[in-house]
């Protein structure tokens, strides 16, 4: 059960991150910096207070539970699923969230650097969360 929750959760957050990489950030880059900044700050506020933060937290907890309950020698694929999912969480907390805070503090003058850095980190976390799903899929064949 924990494996299923961890994998489905990683797929959900990975899909959200992929949506940002392929739709949201490219669309915001077409706007002037003040408008893009205002939109992204609003998105970040909603994400941190809405259902997404609950999903994000639940996925992280499921990955921790999977890592804690998995014997890496007996089921290495499950350990790698947990590691990939948790790595996407670490990127979010260590890179994306601080960049969000900085964008809110500094405003539109920071937008161009923010969009590049945040976009790169977002792509990394999307790949990591998606890797958790792929790894699980290869183990279930």
Domain that holds residue 94: 2-139
Give the mean model confidence (pLDDT) for residues 24-41. Answer: 98
Q: How far apart are CA 45 and CA 49, in angstroms?
A: 6
Per-residue confidence band for 138, with pLDDT thresholds at 50, 70 and 90:
confident
At residue 82, the pLDDT reads 95
Task: Return the pLDDT at 43.
Answer: 97
Task: Compute the radius of gyration of the chain from its Cα atoms.
Answer: 16
What's the number of domains the chain is made of? 1
Residues 72-101 have pLDDT tens digits of: 678 788 899 999 999 999 999 999 999 999
- Length of the chain equals 141
> pLDDT at position 141, please?
56
């Amino acid at each position: 059960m924990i494996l299923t929750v961890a994998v489905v959760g990683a797929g959900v957050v990975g899909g959200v991150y992929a949506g940002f990489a392929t739709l949201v950030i490219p669309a915001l880059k077409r706007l002037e910096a003040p408008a893009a900044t205002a939109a992204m700050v609003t998105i970040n506020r909603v994400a941190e207070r809405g259902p997404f933060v609950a999903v994000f937290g639940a996925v992280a907890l499921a990955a921790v539970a999977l890592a804690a309950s998995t014997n890496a020698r007996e089921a290495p694929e499950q350990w790698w699923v947990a590691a990939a999912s948790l790595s996407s969480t670490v990127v979010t907390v260590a890179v994306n969230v601080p960049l969000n805070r900085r964008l809110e503090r500094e405003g539109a003058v920071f937008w161009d650097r923010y969009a590049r850095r945040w976009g790169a980190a977002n792509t990394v976390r999307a790949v990591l969360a998606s890797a958790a799903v792929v790894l699980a899929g290869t183990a279930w064949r």
